[in-house]
Amino acid sequence: DAKTTQPTSMDCAEGRAANLPCNHSTISGNEYVYWYRQIHSQGPQYIIHGLKNNETNEMASLIITEDRKSSTLILPHATLRDTAVYYCIVRANNQAGTALIFGKGTTLSVSS
Amino acid sequence: ETGVTQTPRHLVMGMTNKKSLKCEQHLGHNAMYWYKQSAKKPLELMFVYSLEERVENNSVPSRFSPECPNSSHLFLHLHTLQPEDSALYLCASSQLTGYRLFFGSGTQLSVL
């Protein structure tokens, strides 16, 4: 799986958009970008994933650059409950026999 | 509610005790995982089961013994643990290995 680089921490004011960047310059053509988040002392929660087109769901939007070497997770209106560690992971789908490996992620702190 | 249930939620045990962690998934998935998360550290993959067979064992000490009796249940048997084994133990499942993960809430283990 390609390596990802994320900032260690970010701050965001409540109600504002939170933009979390991720660099994955060695991504392969068949690898997807996945985002998970982990609220303190809970299991990680899937947020969104994409291959090359931008994606949006009820939780967030994922913007992937045209060269696919970086992406941004956008929480359009951050709330205090969005305070968590956000993980960006790159891997191919249906990669049998292997499991997701989590890095250190970005700690997002949302304050009022 | 993710469809993955872990019990107990908290566990305190002595170094000479034997205990078991239980995980149950109600999603019809065929792959199950154990992850360990020590304080302020990334998640560490411990074991992967696919169709009830262990397919990955990441150099985990033998004092941790997994068991997968069927595709819905996963156990982690613990014996003669050390204080440094204190951590959050997370169970996850996915349709197949490499697919989107669904995590349980974890068992917070303290070894005295």
* pLDDT band per the 50, 70, 90 thresholds, residue A78: very high
Task: Choose the closest CB to A96 out of B4, B88, B97.
Answer: B97
Residue of B nearest to A85 (CA): B42
- Tell me the chain B residues in contact with residue A91 when contact means C-beta distances shorter than 8 Å: 98
Q: Is the pLDDT of residue A99 over 80?
A: no
Q: Which residues are within 8 A (CB) of B26 and not within 5 positions of it... i.e. 6 or more apart?
A: B3, B4, B5, B72
String of b and e for B75-89 (b: at least 16 CB within 10 Å)? bbebeebeeebbbbb
* pLDDT band per the 50, 70, 90 thresholds, residue A1: low
Most B CBs within 10 A among A93, A102, A104, A106, hence the mutation to make, goes to A102
How confident is the model at residue B2, as a pLDDT?
Answer: 73
- Tell me the chain B residues in contact with residue A42 when contact means C-beta distances shorter than 8 Å: 105-106
| Bigger pLDDT: A106 vs A3 | A106
Q: What number is the average pLDDT over the span A57-64?
A: 97
Separation CA B55–CA B39 (nearest Å): 27
Q: Do A36 and B98 touch (CB under 8 A)?
A: no
- Among A9-18, A90-99, B58-67, B100-109, where is mean pLDDT lowest? A90-99
Neighbour-count burial of A7, counting CB atoms closer than 10 A to its CB (0-12 exposed, 13-18 middle, 19+ buried):
middle
How confident is the model at residue A94, as a pLDDT?
Answer: 58
Q: Is the pLDDT of residue A93 over 70?
A: no
Q: What is the mean pLDDT of each run of 10 residues along chain B (112 residues)?
A: 91 93 96 92 90 83 94 96 95 86 95 94
Measured from the Cβ of residue A53, the count of other Cβ atoms closer than 10 Å reads 8
Helix (H, G, I), strand (E, B) or coil at B16: coil
User: Is any Cβ of chain A less than 8 angstroms from the Cβ of B66?
Assistant: no
Q: Which residues are within 8 A (CB) of A29 and not within 5 positions of it... i.e. 6 or more apart?
A: none
Q: Is the pLDDT of residue A50 over 80?
A: yes
How confident is the model at residue A96, as a pLDDT?
Answer: 54
